[in-house]
Amino acid sequence: MRLAELSERSGVSTATIKYYLREGLLTPGRQINTTTAEYDEEHLRRLRLIRAMIQVGRVPVATVKEVLGHVDDDSLPRAIRLGAAMWALPQVPEPDQDDEYVQAAHQEVSALLDQLGWENAKQLTTISPAYRSLVVAVAAFRRLGYGFGAELLAPYAELMHRTAVLDLDNMETYPSQAERIEFAILGAILNEPVLQALHRLAQEEESTRRYGFDE
């Protein structure tokens, strides 16, 4: 397809597509003559992914370029390609290690991982932004005077593990490695609002089932 059709099918303006081409986010089309290039379905798919990251995920253009660089690097092992893509997305800042609440949260999260037997997460700890986010969130609870220990967290962690199994099962239905990694990035950006909405809806459903409206 030509640039005009790529623009129409992706909903991205030709000026913006040209900008993405200049920035190297999108690989050039096949040059037909000096003024015309031909684009394919892979360009369209990639363009949708870029748009999801920038418009929905609010990921800066430089970061998008970095993420796509990892996605396209066949020399990296699969878990690293997946992880690197995820880790390039917006993350919580490094928690203050001198803070007493952060220290207590570290211990709680560590005890949780032991209890769950999540050996890989346990090994990744310091380099994983997800681990860091969990420490920050648990520390925020403690700072407000609420404990949130391993016993309380473990059943939630088991349910989130089953959610992650679903994520990866869905990802594996895609035939190519490139599509799978794209799906993982999209999941990180778009799944979370869906899960949050489903969780709140389930709370309403369960709460009306238990308490009704007439008590």
Query: Within 64-123, which residues bind a copy of itself (CB under 8 A)?
Result: 77-80, 82-83, 86, 118, 120-121
**Residue 31 C-beta: closest distance to a copy of itself, Å:** 26
Count of residues in contact with a copy of itself, rule CB under 8 A: 76
Q: Which is nearer to a copy of itself, 32 or 198 (CB)?
A: 198
- Binding to a copy of itself by residue 179, rule CB under 8 A? no
- 53, 189 Cβ separation under 8 angstroms: yes
**Residue 182 C-beta: closest distance to a copy of itself, Å:** 10
- Binding to a copy of itself by residue 140, rule CB under 8 A? yes
- Binding to a copy of itself by residue 58, rule CB under 8 A? no
Nearest to 71 by CA among 179, 169, 167: 179
- Buried/exposed 134-173: b ≥16 CB within 10 Å, e otherwise: bbbebbeebeeeeebebeebeeebeeeeeeeeebeeebee
Which long-range contacts does 115-120 make (Cβ < 8 Å, 24+ apart)? 115/150, 115/154, 116/154, 116/157, 116/158, 116/161, 118/157
**Residue 111 C-beta: closest distance to a copy of itself, Å:** 14
- Binding to a copy of itself by residue 4, rule CB under 8 A? no
- Binding to a copy of itself by residue 56, rule CB under 8 A? yes
Q: Which is nearer to a copy of itself, 35 or 93 (CB)?
A: 93
DSSP 105-133: HHHHHHHHHHHHT-HHHHHHGGG-HHHHH
Candidate segments 17-25, 31-39, 58-66, 133-141, binder of a copy of itself by CB under 8 A: 133-141
